[in-house]
Amino acid sequence: MKITEEAEYKEMILKYNFAMQILETELNILLKDYEYKKGYNPVEHIKTRMKSLDSASKKLKDKGYEVTVDNLIRKVYDMIGVRIVCSFLSDVYDIVDLIKSSKQFIIKRENNYIDYPKESGYKSYHLIVLVPVHLGERTEYIEAEIQIRTVAMDCWASLDHKLRYKFPEMIPEEIRFGLKECSKDIDELDLKMQSLYEILQRYNN
C-alpha cells in the first residue's frame, strides 16, 4: 500500500470497527430475543474478527489486484467476519432466517454451502450483509460476512485450515481425499444428532 493511502486506510478501519460494533450489537439483540421467545439458545459460540492488512493484501494479490484502499473496500467482502456456531443443523437455518428478518442489515448475497458443499467438502451457510454506518449527515454501507455452521462443520473447517496452512502450495491428494471423507462422516453425524434432537423435542412436548 502506498504511503499516501495510510490516512485513507486508517479512516476505512475506523468505519469498519463501527460496522463491526453495530453488527455485534444487532446479532446479540436478535439472539437474546430469540432465546426469550423460544426458551432455547441455539448458539454454542460466536466469534468476530477484522481481517488483518497482511491477510487482506494477500487475498488481493492472489486475485491479481493491486493493494489499494479502494480495492480493499470493493474486492475484499469479508474484511469483517462473524462466525456463528450452532448446536444442531436445524438451528443453522433458524439463525439464517433470524438474520434475514432483521431490518438493520441488507442481505447482499447468500451462499448455502450446506446443501451445496464446496469441492473440498467445506460446509457452512454464508451471508454477505451490508451494515449501515451513520456518519454525520451521510450513511455508508459496510460489507461483512456472516458464517453460520454446526459444531461438527466448525471442527472440520478448523482441521481443513490447519492442514492447508501446512501445505500452502499444493495439498497432497491423500489428504484432500481424507478431508472429503471426513466431511461425509461429519454430515452423517449432523443428521444423526438432528434426529436425536427431534426425538428429544417430541418427549418434551
CATH number (domain holding residue 107):
3.30.460.10
Decide if 203 is inside a domain.
no
Q: Mind listing the pLDDT tens digit for each residue in 128-165? A: 999 999 988 899 999 999 999 999 999 999 988 887 76
Q: What is the pLDDT of residue 4?
A: 60
Extract the residue ranges of the chain whose pLDDT is less than 50.
Answer: 3
Domain, as residue range, for 57: 3-152
3-state helix, strand, coil in the chain (%, to 5): 55, 20, 20
One-letter amino acid at 183 equals S
Which residues are CB-contacts of 149 (< 8 A; sequence separation ≥ 6)? Answer: 83, 84, 85, 86, 92, 114, 123, 124, 125, 157
Question: How many other CB atoms are there within 10 angstroms of residue 199's CB atom?
Answer: 10
Angle between helices 151-166 and 173-204 (to 10 degrees): 170
- Which run of H or of E encompasses 13? helix 6-38
Decide if 163 is inside a domain.
no
Which residues are CB-contacts of 119 (< 8 A; sequence separation ≥ 6)? Answer: none
Phi, psi of 146 (to 5 degrees): -110, 125
Q: What is the pLDDT of residue 50?
A: 94
Q: How many domains does the chain have?
A: 1
Picking from 199, 125, 201, 124, the residue whose alpha carbon sits closest to that of residue 155 is: 124
- Indicate if the alpha-carbon torsion angle 16, 20, 21, 25 is positive or negative: positive
Decide if 14 is inside a domain.
yes
Question: How many other CB atoms are there within 10 angstroms of residue 182's CB atom?
Answer: 16
Decide if 106 is inside a domain.
yes
Q: What is the pLDDT of residue 97?
A: 96
Decide if 114 is inside a domain.
yes
Question: How many other CB atoms are there within 10 angstroms of residue 69's CB atom?
Answer: 18
Decide if 202 is inside a domain.
no
**pTM metric for this prediction:** 0.90
Q: What is the pLDDT of residue 133?
A: 95
Q: What is the pLDDT of residue 27?
A: 96
